[in-house]
Amino acid sequence: MKLLYPSSLVLDTKELEGFAATLHPYDVKKPLPEDVIDAEVLVTWSNSAENLNDAAKRMTNLKWIQSLAAGPNDVLNAGFDSKKIIVTTGSGLHDLTVAEHALGMLLDGARRFFEMRDYQTQGKWPGHLGGPQPDRPRGKFTTLRDANVTIWGFGNIAKALAPWLTSLGANVKGLARSSGVRNGVEVYGDDKIDEILATTDALVMILPGAVSTNNALNAARLKTLPKHAWVINVGRGTAIDEDALVEALESGEIGGAALDVFVKEPLPESSKLYKAPNCIISPHAAGGRPQGAEELIAFNLRKFMAGQELRNVI
């Protein structure tokens, strides 16, 4: 059995040794060499569309694809035969890095580091941001302490983020398809969305990409948020109506937005989001650093060879 692993990521292949499989690195930007095209297992990470399309056509012996991405849309769109090939995701490998990025965005919005930087580049002193300031003023998002932070999409990333927010004094609630208590956080169902948004100081969106989540945050729901509320998105860009968001920012309907994901990436230069007031643009930088990839590959390889169910199967 041959297992192909990507050279786009530094992997400790010693953790993958000892199985009845030979390990072969490959270039994710080039067509696969002929001598490995008969591999049964393909591990993917940041592969080009051309590489995956070529693999889908030529790897006729392929049985299992282990993507290291949380949402392997590149693999799913490449043309692999889903009836014959198992596809597993890298869900869980990006929880801490994305949660950390979301926390940074929240602090940036609350303490207005982005505005300080804007003044610095102009050689100006932002005196209005320094000196004596009111403590937790009503109708403003200036701190996480006592802030109502809502996490929309309460999966593994949310479970990593919530304790950090709580430790900083935030009141954390969750929104998901089904209600309940998860890791000590009260999570509300879809029927409570508008009610929860109405009292939210900062909304962290970690929704997956799906037809059901397209434009989940639309013009009507943006109007439901308090005028000082910030929107953070580290899930999928399609979950927000970008035109409605620009309008909300320009009209002062919400306090600000910090976005790491967009409907189209790279974000076109013509996008109004670049110049929208109080809008922080992050170039899909929250993840990109899978942690524990070797353990996941080894676990699934063991299961695969034993004919057992793999983890994170789509």
* pLDDT tens readout for residues 100-111: 999 999 999 999
Nearest to residue 68, comparing CAs of 48, 52, 85, 44?
44
Percent of the chain with pLDDT over 70: 100
Banded model confidence at residue 1, pLDDT cuts 50, 70, 90? very high
Q: At what angle do helices 95-111 and 156-167 cross, to 10 degrees?
A: 40
Banded model confidence at residue 71, pLDDT cuts 50, 70, 90? confident
pLDDT for 169: 98
Average pLDDT over residues 70-75: 91
Distance (Å, whole) CA 220 – CA 224:
7
Q: For residue 255, is pLDDT > 90? A: yes
H or E segment at 197?
A: helix 193-197
pLDDT for 209: 87
pLDDT for 173: 98
Residue 133 structure tokens: 């300031």
pLDDT for 105: 98
Output the CA–CA distances (angstroms, integers) from residue 299 to 6, 86, 93, in the order listed. 18, 15, 13
Parts of the chain belonging to CATH 3.40.50.720: 2-93+290-306, 95-281
Q: For residue 75, is pLDDT > 90? A: yes
Distance (Å, whole) CA 25 – CA 42:
10
Distance (Å, whole) CA 14 – CA 17:
5
Whether the Cβ atoms of residue 165 and residue 172 lie closer than 8 Å to each other: yes
Distance (Å, whole) CA 64 – CA 85:
5
List, for residues 221-240, the tens digit of each pLDDT value.
Answer: 999 999 999 999 999 999 99
pLDDT for 117: 98
Average pLDDT over residues 132-160: 97
Amino acid identity of residue 289, one-letter, is R
Distance (Å, whole) CA 116 – CA 128:
10
Distance (Å, whole) CA 185 – CA 151:
10
DSSP state at residue 208: P
Q: For residue 174, is pLDDT > 90? A: yes
Topology (CATH) of 95-281: Rossmann fold (3.40.50)
Which CATH superfamily, name and number, covers 2-93+290-306?
NAD(P)-binding Rossmann-like Domain (3.40.50.720)
Question: How does the average pLDDT of the chain come out, rounded?
Answer: 97
Strands 64-67 and 41-44: parallel
> In the beta sheet, which residues pair with residue 204?
151, 232
Please state whether the peptide bond connecting residue 137 to the residue before it is cis, i.e. omega within 30 degrees of 0.
Answer: no
DSSP state at residue 139: T
Whether the Cβ atoms of residue 165 and residue 193 lie closer than 8 Å to each other: no
Residue 29 structure tokens: 């930007």
Whether the Cβ atoms of residue 232 and residue 105 lie closer than 8 Å to each other: yes
Whether the Cβ atoms of residue 195 and residue 173 lie closer than 8 Å to each other: no
Q: How much is the pTM? A: 0.94
pLDDT for 92: 95
List, for residues 279-305, the tens digit of each pLDDT value.
Answer: 999 999 999 999 999 999 999 999 999
Residue 73 structure tokens: 């849309």
Average pLDDT over residues 180-194: 97
Whether the Cβ atoms of residue 33 and residue 53 lie closer than 8 Å to each other: no
Sheet architecture: strand order including 64-67: 22-26, 2-6, 41-44, 64-67, 86-88
Q: Burial level of 211, CB count in 10 A (0-12/13-18/19+)?
A: exposed
Distance (Å, whole) CA 222 – CA 145:
23
Residue 299 structure tokens: 């676990």
